[in-house]
A and B are shown apart, each in its own frame.
Chain A
Amino acid sequence: MTGAIIEISQLTKQFKSKEVVHKADLKIVKGEIFGLIGQNGAGKSTLLKMIGGLMYPSSGEIHLFDHAVGENHAYFERMGLLIEDPGLFPHYSAYENLDLMAISYGLKDRSKHINELLKLVGLDGSNKTKVKNYSMGMKQRLGIAIALMGSPDVLILDEPINGLDPQGISEVRKLILELNKTGMTIIISSHILEELSKVATKYAILHHGEIIEINSKEELLLKCEVRIEVEVDKASLAIPILEEHLNINNYKVISDRTLYVYDTHVENHQITKVLVENGVSVQSIMKHKQSLEQYFLKRTRAEGDSHD
Chain B
Amino acid sequence: MINLFKMDLHRFKNNKIMYLLLVIFSAFEIFGIFMMKQYEQPMEQGGTSVSSMNASDFIQLVLSQTPSWVLMYVTVFSVYFYMSEYNSGFYKNYISMNNARMYSVISKILILGMFTLLMLVTMVISDLIGRTIFFNNAAIGDWGYFVKLLVGQFLLHWAFSILVLFISIVSRSMITSLVIGVVLALNVPGMVVGALESLVGNINLSSYLLVNTIVSTKDFNNMNDVIHVASVAIIFMLIFSYIAVRYKVKEDLR
Chain A interface residues toward B at CB < 8 A: 49, 52-56, 71-74, 76, 78-79, 81, 83-90, 96-97, 99-101, 103-106, 146-147, 149
- On whether the beta carbons of B93 and A72 are closer than 8 Å, the reply is no
> Which residue of chain B lies nearest to A86 when distances are taken between CB atoms in the complex?
B89
A89 in contact with B90 given A72-B99, A103-B10, A104-B97 (CB within 8 Å): yes
List B51-104 residues whose CB lies under 8 Å from chain A: 84-85, 88-101
- On whether the beta carbons of A53 and B94 are closer than 8 Å, the reply is no
Complex alpha-carbon distance, A244 and B254, angstroms: 63
Point out the residues of chain A lying under 8 angstroms from B85, CB to CB: 89
Complex alpha-carbon distance, A88 and B94, angstroms: 12
The 9 A-B pairs with the shortest beta carbon distances in the complex, nearest first, are A87-B89, A74-B98, A79-B96, A87-B92, A104-B7, A106-B3, A54-B253, A87-B90, A55-B252
- Nearest-neighbour CB distance to chain A for B244, whole angstroms, equals 15
- On whether the beta carbons of B95 and A81 are closer than 8 Å, the reply is yes
- On whether the beta carbons of A71 and B252 are closer than 8 Å, the reply is no
Partner of A56, one of B2, B11, B100, B252: B252
Partner of B96, one of A78, A85, A87, A100: A78
30 example contacts (A-B, Cβ-Cβ < 8 A) are as follows A54-B253, A54-B254, A55-B252, A56-B250, A56-B252, A72-B99, A76-B96, A78-B96, A81-B95, A84-B254, A85-B89, A86-B89, A87-B88, A87-B91, A87-B92, A89-B11, A89-B84, A89-B85, A89-B90, A90-B88, A99-B10, A100-B10, A101-B93, A103-B3, A103-B7, A103-B10, A104-B6, A104-B7, A104-B97, A105-B97
For the complex, count residues of B whose C-beta is within 8 A of A: 29
- On whether the beta carbons of B100 and A54 are closer than 8 Å, the reply is no
- On whether the beta carbons of B4 and A53 are closer than 8 Å, the reply is no
Name the prevailing secondary structure of the B interface residues. Answer: helix
- On whether the beta carbons of B95 and A100 are closer than 8 Å, the reply is no
A72 in contact with B252 given A81-B92, A90-B88, A147-B93 (CB within 8 Å): no
- Nearest-neighbour CB distance to chain A for B97, whole angstroms, equals 6
Complex alpha-carbon distance, A87 and B95, angstroms: 11
- Nearest-neighbour CB distance to chain B for A20, whole angstroms, equals 12
Complex alpha-carbon distance, A56 and B85, angstroms: 21
- On whether the beta carbons of A104 and B4 are closer than 8 Å, the reply is yes
- Nearest-neighbour CB distance to chain A for B139, whole angstroms, equals 43
- On whether the beta carbons of B96 and A89 are closer than 8 Å, the reply is no
Complex alpha-carbon distance, A148 and B160, angstroms: 38
B175: Cβ under 8 A from any A Cβ: no
B249: Cβ under 8 A from any A Cβ: yes
- On whether the beta carbons of A74 and B253 are closer than 8 Å, the reply is no
Partner of B100, one of A74, A89, A106, A147: A74
- On whether the beta carbons of B96 and A53 are closer than 8 Å, the reply is yes
- Nearest-neighbour CB distance to chain B for A184, whole angstroms, equals 15
A72 in contact with B88 given A55-B253, A100-B7 (CB within 8 Å): no
- On whether the beta carbons of B89 and A100 are closer than 8 Å, the reply is no
Complex alpha-carbon distance, A152 and B208, angstroms: 49
Point out the residues of chain A lying under 8 angstroms from B252, CB to CB: 54-56
Complex alpha-carbon distance, A55 and B249, angstroms: 10
- On whether the beta carbons of A54 and B98 are closer than 8 Å, the reply is no
Point out the residues of chain B lying under 8 angstroms from A86, CB to CB: 89
Complex alpha-carbon distance, A86 and B101, angstroms: 19
- On whether the beta carbons of B96 and A74 are closer than 8 Å, the reply is yes
Complex alpha-carbon distance, A88 and B88, angstroms: 6
Looking at B11, B97, B101, which has the most chain A CB atoms within 10 Å of its CB?
A: B97
- On whether the beta carbons of B6 and A81 are closer than 8 Å, the reply is no
Looking at B11, B93, B249, which has the most chain A CB atoms within 10 Å of its CB?
A: B93
> Which residue of chain A lies nearest to B94 when distances are taken between CB atoms in the complex?
A104
A104 in contact with B3 given A56-B252, A71-B249, A71-B250 (CB within 8 Å): yes
Complex alpha-carbon distance, A171 and B98, angstroms: 32
> Which residue of chain B lies nearest to A106 when distances are taken between CB atoms in the complex?
B3
- Nearest-neighbour CB distance to chain B for A71, whole angstroms, equals 5
Complex alpha-carbon distance, A83 and B91, angstroms: 12
Complex alpha-carbon distance, A84 and B96, angstroms: 16
- Nearest-neighbour CB distance to chain A for B171, whole angstroms, equals 19
Looking at A49, A53, A87, which has the most chain B CB atoms within 10 Å of its CB?
A: A87
- Nearest-neighbour CB distance to chain A for B87, whole angstroms, equals 9
- On whether the beta carbons of B96 and A52 are closer than 8 Å, the reply is yes
